[in-house]
Amino acid sequence: MALLDILYRDDHLVAINKPDALLVHRTRIAGDTLAALQILRDQINRSVYPVHRLDRATSGVLLFALRSEVASRLCRAFEERTIHKRYRAVVRGFPAPEGIIDHPVVDAETGIARPSRTRFRRLETLRLDAVVEGRAAQYSLLEIEPETGRRHQIRRHLKHLGHPIIGDTTYGRGEHNRFFRQQFGVHRLLLHARSVELTHPVTDAPLRIEVDETEERSWRLFREQTQDVWVSE
């Protein structure tokens, strides 16, 4: 079993760089599958408490508390939106330079549409000498900040915007996903939790935990293959 990459640790918190395809914790559907919580618990030999979640297919900063009372404070801070998460994603096409997606997300369990907001900013654009779906192959690197925390919110919002994330087999476009697999060897969702900013729940000190998306192999290989054709905004 491979060790997890620990980005930050003190007496109260621990943050890892979650690989893609790894669950945060076991579920009824995948009860026998290894998950980040169990691996980290065994790695540091103490109990850990998840305070937020990442989709299985999403990589990046994942935060745990080391005591239940600290977990409660962090969960409350997430609910009060005083913890800020930023993501990076590669999407189809060229969305607006920046914007807010304000669109309800339906809860899969209750069927209730809940208010949801996501901010985005376009960082770079990419034009490739290829045609996909009958159009020129054009893509963008976005920085994304969800203001709410609905399940699959970022993925669903970008689909609603008409610029789905590359590698998204649920909300994306199969032609573009296949193009990235064949052209660049990308077999994953290009969505990465880049940073978490918070006030430390015990010391009250400002804390920023960050990991570059190119720490992940698929991102790094893709960027290396296209490094000369990206255009910064």
Active site residues: 55
Separation CA 136–CA 155 (nearest Å):
23
Length of the chain: 233
Amino acid type, 154: I
- Among candidate residues 58, 107, 104, 62, the one with its CA nearest the CA of residue 83: 62
Burial grade of 131 (CB within 10 A; 0-12, 13-18, 19 or more): exposed
For 60, residues 6+ apart whose C-beta sits below 8 A from its C-beta are 17, 18, 54, 87, 192, 193, 194, 211, 213
